[in-house]
Structure 1
Amino acid sequence: MVQLAVTNLTFSYAEEAPPIFADLNFAPADGTFNLLTGPSGSGKSTLLKLLAGLYPQYGGVIQSGEVTVDGTAIAALPPYQRAQHVAVLFQNPSRQFAMRTVIDQLQFALANLQLAPAEIDRRITAVLSALNLTAFTNRALQSLSGGEQQRVALASVLALGSDLILLDEPFANVDAKGRTQLLADLKNLQETQHKTIILADHDLSGYAGLVDHVYHVDHATHTLTTPPLTDLPQDTPATPVIGQSLTSGPLAWADLGLGVDTRQLIRNAHFQIPAGQLGLLSGDNGAGKSTLFSALTQQHPFTGSITYGAQPVKQFKLRQWAMRVAEVYQNSPDQFIRIHLQEELDLSAQHSLHPDYWTPERIKAAVDQLNLTGLEEHVNYALSGGQQKKLQVLSMLIMGQPVLLLDEPFAGLDAQSLHAVLTLLQQTVQDLQISALVVSHQRQGVVPFMAYELHLADEQLTLIAGEEGTHDQQ
């Protein structure tokens, strides 16, 4: 058991910069489950990095106060000792991987604690069993879906045996079933092993009856407030997409088959992505949604046919295809080419296929709509996860390819940011008649913007909402 305490802490990203937190005091009770809330960019990730001792070692300045574990400044502890007390799971799980396979990654993480080989084996067996990941033991990490990678990253964190577990948007790419199971696993750890859990999340569903305390990052006062537990929403049934008549579009596939290693993911799929409408691609983690996008962008082998304007994909060079079919990646930083936000937008505008539409005035209005104004000179990689998502989506919309595939573009967005992104996305798709297909495990706030839903399960890609075959032109 450890006692974490933040005492009179004032922190900023630079000596002359305004504070992110001012005179902050925070001491979560030992063995409690704590939910950290707040809008995108409010400072949730910053606070977790402070609690883990990553700040100010790797960024920012503590103007006053300190973070301590059992009375010792956490920044003064060597990394291997720090990890024995505090474990952290970041928003992007792939950033925590250093090895090739699941078993290699777990062995590497535990070896850094200088544990005996027998203890390493015992912990690995226990955590893989607890999280139902035994079948993943020898899987290559890069072959896993985003949600599966998140579960493995969580296993790495839990195997460390730390008394304090910090989790930064741990369910961003996890399906509903996986989210429910992981929440149950965390609650069990808290109750049976007396772990202290601090979890940052923008989606507050599923926490009622589980968490002991809620802390809200107040961006105006640079402190934490404590809203009552009764403010947490009760779970509601998933809202179905109300299907519309589908238009025609340039990108289609027929008799499509996909697999990874020896696993078949899709068989005999047929579809044409409508133009001017947003579509939802749903399915459990590992079903093959991201693999489908990889095939549509010529990054994964397939059987059957993929065509653009009735021309087979193989008749296009990669550069030609990239000017027709674009993808918004799961991991935002993988998309960035420039260092600063404004530079990223300027580059997209320079190569836009619709410069008459994406005028400087329209881009400026979109930046303001997404609440990115004032961040133009910020480093892209230092933005919050939600701010990175908004920049990523906007930069790709400005590029304006006729087909846009978006892989979990809403991860890390609060409700207000989610609505702003979807409003901008829908308007641009309609104005430019873009064929847009979205992978998202989040349904609340997303479904009302969708014209149809494709569901991937049991190797079948099925249209479950929307009227295919009418192809009404808008």
Structure 2
Amino acid sequence: MTTLSTHQLNFTYQSDQQPILNNISLTLNPNSFNLLIGVSGSGKSTLLKLLAGLYPKFAGKITAGEVLLNAQPVADIVPYERAQHVAMLFQNPLRQFAMATPYEEVKFALGNLQFDPNEMPDRIQSALAFVGITHLAHHQIRHLSGGEQQKVALATIIAMDADIILLDEPFANIDPMARQSLLTALQKLQQTRGKTIFISDHDLSGYDGLVDCLYQLHANGQLNEASLNLLKAQPTTVQFENRMNQQVSPLSWQNLQVQLSNTLLIQANEFSIPYGQIGIISGPNGAGKTTFFKALTQQIAYTGQITWHQKSLSQLRPKQRAKVIGYGFQTATDQFVTMTVEEEILLSKKQTQSSEFWTSTRIEKSLKQLQLSDLLSHVVYRLSGGQQKKLQILSLLILNLPILLFDEPFAGLDKDSLNQVLTLMRNYVNQTGHSILLISHQRHGLENFIDFELTMTNHKLHLLGEDSIHD
């Protein structure tokens, strides 16, 4: 049986800083299902990368203790041999892809591990079926939705057949039904094939009855085993009350359609974004939600009309459109154009459309609220996934645009961070009258903040609670 453990492990990214992980002693029992929780920035991704043998080779320094794979220092084991025992899924799946299609990606990974070429087709097919994407086998990965890309990365890990599977926020962009299906499949993998599974996740729903050990990583870098009772009474579904007001913003669309090779991707009839409210767009992975945002921001061709003050948005010059709609990308690092947190905030402050609202005092208060004040000198690409999301959201809010679109803004946020971000968004729309429309598979914790819900079903956009508006 493959064993993986740490003993009194301390780790830091820079020698002159406090350890991000402090005296970590952990043993993953073979053939067990384990869950890792903790606040954003506590070091969960760092711990997984240490267990996978990626750190300190590629970043940071172990200042005390060790990581052992089968009683050997993991750093001493050559990557080829290590990958046969431990496989890791990154928080951002795009960082793992080397090939153009899901089939080629899984085949590439198996080739690196020197699997028998005659066995590869069946192994690839089985892995793609495990995550439910056999129909996407030969599609371009870059054209898939974020959730579908996560499934491709997970299929690659499954195909590698490692004894220990480390998954960093594997369901962040996956719809609730697919999430539950994958959790059940992972438990079956653990029970029938003897795998050891270690998942980092902020969303605790669906884990009750699956998890053998629950570990909690704290802000001080210390780890403890937590009670499994934390996983009980997690709501399985969340419904949003329709609180949409009748006062609308100047942004609307009429008979909007997006097609690709005569295939209908999106159909949205007539709707106007409500004034000063927060809306959510829901729907399964691949339904067309991100495509819809790309149409609203004029990144792809469409038919019908998208208007601003009853004038076609396409007729506005790019600089004019940039003062109307802001778009928060699904991957936060794609948004950043500077190196440090402070530089990113100063750039947004320089470009804000309301310096009267976004004063230095308000920005400093917001940074403190989001627990970013002590990270101003940090490189944005070295932040945790949750910290990057908080910085991305604040940077866009500071621009003070009438319409803000956010694509999966809550991925990687713990419960408290989620509430902090939503409170900031709510105060922003209430005080400015601006509007926010977001795509999110995260629903828990949003109940008191969402004013209306649009759902993408069968490529058509509907307003829940008032079907006549979108049918």
What is the TM-score normalised by the length of structure 1? 0.96
Q: Counterparts of 2:31 and 2:468 in 1: how far apart (Å)?
A: 53
In the superposition, relative to structure 1, how do residues 114 and 467 fare at CA in structure 2: closer, same or farther (>3 Å)? Answer: closer
Contact 2:257–2:304 at 8 Å: present in 1 too?
A: yes
Determine if contact 1:242/1:466 at 8 Å carries over to the other structure: no
State the match for 2:434 in structure 1: 434
Tell me, in whole angstroms, the C-alpha distance in 2 between the residues paired with 1:311 and 1:428.
26
**Counterpart check, 1:425 vs 2:437:** no
Q: Does the CA contact (< 8 Å) of 1:324 and 1:402 recur in 2? A: yes
Contact 2:206–2:236 (CA<8 Å) still a contact in 1? Answer: no
2:283 matched residue in structure 1: 283
- Counterparts in 2 of 1:314-329, with a 5 A limit? 314-329=314-329
Q: Which shifted more, 417-426 or 456-465?
A: 456-465
Task: Give, in angstroms, the shift of residue 237 of structure 1.
Answer: 4.5
The one-letter code matched in structure 2 to 1:429 is V
More off after superposition, 208-217 vs 239-248 = 239-248
* C-alpha distance in 2 between matches for 1:143 and 1:269: 25
Check 1:348–1:168 CA distance in 2 against 1; reply closer, same or farther (3 A cut). Answer: same
CA distance in 1, matches of 2:468, 2:319: 31
Identify which range, 56-65 or 258-267, moves more after superposition.
258-267
In the TM superposition, residue 450 of structure 1 has moved relative to its aligned partner by: 1.1
Code of the aligned partner of 1:117: P
Residue 262 (structure 1) shift: 5.2
User: Structure 2 counterpart of 1:236, which letter?
Assistant: P
Distance 1:239 1:466 in 2: 18
CA distance in 2, matches of 1:26, 1:456: 43
Deviation at 1:253, TM superposition (A): 0.6
Alpha-carbon distance in structure 2 between the residues aligned to 1:268 and 1:86: 45
- The alpha-carbon deviation at position 467 of structure 1 amounts to 10
Instruction: Report SS of the residue matched to 1:250.
Output: strand
- In structure 1, the residue matched to 2:457 is 457
Worse-matched range after superposition: 150-159 or 259-268: 259-268
Cα deviation, residue 380, structure 1: 0.5
CA distance in 1, matches of 2:190, 2:108: 25
Q: Which amino acid aligns with 2:162?
A: S
C-alpha displacement of 1:10:
1.2
CA 1:262–1:235 in structure 2 vs 1: closer, same or farther (change >3 Å)?
Answer: farther
Amino acid corresponding to residue 462 of structure 1 in structure 2: H
- Find the counterpart in structure 1 of residue 293 from structure 2: 293
Q: Percent identity?
A: 45
Asked if structure 2 preserves the Cα contact closer than 8 Å seen for 1:453 and 1:466, the reply is no
Partner of 1:79: 79
| Contact 1:275 1:436 (C-alpha < 8 Å) held by counterparts | no
How many aligned residue pairs are there?
Answer: 468
Letter in 1 for 2:442: Q
8 Å CA contact 1:252, 1:308 repeated in 2: yes
Contact 2:341 2:380 in 1 (8 A): yes
1:246-285 equivalences in 2 (<5 Å): 246-261=246-261, 263-285=263-285
Do the aligned partners of 1:327 and 1:404 also contact (CA within 8 Å) in 2?
Answer: yes
Q: What's the counterpart of residue 116 of structure 2?
A: 116
1:416-468 CA-to-partner distances (Å, cap 9, x unmatched) read 10010000011112222212101111111113211111111012211114799
Coordinate RMSD, CA, aligned? 1.5
Q: What is the TM-score normalised by the length of structure 2?
A: 0.97
Alignment of 1:186-197 (within 5 A): 186-197=186-197
Distance apart, 1:250 and its partner CA: 1.5
Conserved in 1, the CA contact under 8 Å of 2:406 and 2:438? yes
Q: SS of the residue aligned with 2:255? A: strand
The one-letter code matched in structure 1 to 2:38 is: G
Distance 1:169 1:260 in 2: 31
Structure 1 alignment gaps of length 5 or more: 470-474
CA distance in structure 1 between the partners assigned to 2:175 and 2:283 by the alignment: 8
Once residues 428 and 268 of structure 2 are traced to their aligned partners in structure 1, the CA distance between those partners, rounded to angstroms, is 32
In the alignment, what sits opposite 1:43? 43
> Partners of 1:408 and 1:261 in 2: how far apart?
27
* d(CA) in 2 for partners of 1:449, 1:260: 35
Matched, 1:91 2:95: no
Structure 1 segment 65-464 matched on structure 2, within 5 A: 65-220=65-220, 222-244=221-243, 245-261=245-261, 263-464=263-464
Take 2:452 and 2:75, find their aligned partners in 1: how far apart are those partners?
50
Is this contact kept in 2: 1:298–1:318, CA < 8 A? no
* Rounded Cα–Cα distance in structure 1 between residues aligned with 2:311 and 2:76: 62
